[in-house]
Each structure stands twice: as C-alpha cells, then as structure tokens.
Chains A and B, each alone.
Chain A
C-alpha cells in the first residue's frame, strides 16, 4: 500500500518552455501532497504544500508564479514549471500523506529529473 507515482520520470526541454509533472497517489486518498526539489548531493528542499481544493502554500523563496501547483483531486497534484531555465534543472519529488500511516507519514513518488537546455 501507499504507492505514489510520478510522470514523467525524466524530461528534457528547451529554455523558455513549460513542463508539467504529475503526482498520483495510487491506493490511498491524499488530502495533502508536498513538492520537493533536490539538487545533486544536497538535501530535499520543500517547495510547497498542496491541499486538495485549495491554493498551495509556498516556502519562502519559491516563486508561485513560476512553479504552478494544482491539486484538483484527492489523488492527483500537478507541478508546472513555467518558462523553464537551465537553473531549474533538478530532481523534483512529490510526496503524499497517508492518513493510515504513523503521524501522516509521507510517501514519496519516484521523482522526475528535469533537464533544461
């Protein structure tokens, strides 16, 4: 149980284009999903917290107009990187809280590696 999927697993795009990443909880309903970014050899950095049906809460320093988050259902959240630039190249990971887990344990998707040329 508690499986989270992400699509795509990797994407290469040109500078200036937009990229959408999907995060799905496959076998549970996730009222809260989280989006992280991880640069090589660095820790996970929380970008935003997404609650179903409401606006995402962004961490300090994360541009909400650049990283658009939509959480339209209890099993799907999307992150759109708008007008991507090479510095946005990173490993993007989503997680979802399972109400059945200990203290709303976060279960992670497999991640999406974004490379912006």
Chain B
C-alpha cells in the first residue's frame, strides 16, 4: 500500500523561505510529484523527482531521498499568492497517490 505523510498546516511571512516535508512508504516507486492547489481549484504541477537530489525551478525547489522515503518542497521569496495547499504525490507501480496536502498561509 501507499502511505504519504505531510504537515497539515504551515505559516510563513512574505519574503521568507519555507520548507514543506513529505515522507512516504510505498510499494514500488516511480517518482514523486509536488502540486499546488488553490482553494476550489484543481492542482497544478510544480515539480517531479525520480532520482535523489535537488531539482530547482525558479523560486521552487524539490528534494528527494529515496533511501529515506523523504522529499521536501522549498519555496523562496514567498509571495501572498503562494498561499495554497501543497500536495505531495507518489507514483507507485501504476497509479499516483496523493498526500492530504499542506495548507500554507503566507502573511504580510
């Protein structure tokens, strides 16, 4: 089975850096995805990791350690519009399983 764990909520201030962690136990591993979801909207793709290490894309970076079953999403220079839910999702042998999401609130 699949088990994905991430914090329920986090708060940060505008301009700061925040790290959202995700741990997983899965049967089979074919990549880890991070999605951003604003309230009432569908998720949008942020990043994909399949090998260990850091993937950087602008203000967002994602890290993966397969041996530890661990990933994090790093958001730099936070903006108010970054307030959203961040979903960690793991692809096992075939399907994609989502974590419950981390609600990030960015305050001025």
Contacts and interface: CB of A to CB of B under 8 A. Distances in A.
User: How extensive is the interface on chain A, given as a class?
Assistant: 20 to 34
A42 B100 contact: yes
A102 B40 CA distance: 26
A69 to B, nearest CB: 15
A21 to B, nearest CB: 13
Contacts of A106: 33, 45, 96
A71 to B, nearest CB: 16
B107 interface: no
B3 to A, nearest CB: 12
Given A93-B42, A109-B42, A49 B48 contact: no
B13 interface: no
A45 B98 CA distance: 7
A24 to B, nearest CB: 14
Contacts of A105: 33, 45, 48
In order of increasing CB-CB distance, the 4 nearest A-B pairs are: A108-B42, A43-B100, A111-B42, A44-B98
Interface of B: 30-31, 33, 35, 40-45, 48, 50, 87, 91, 94-101
Interface of A: 34, 42-46, 49, 91, 93, 101-103, 105-111, 113
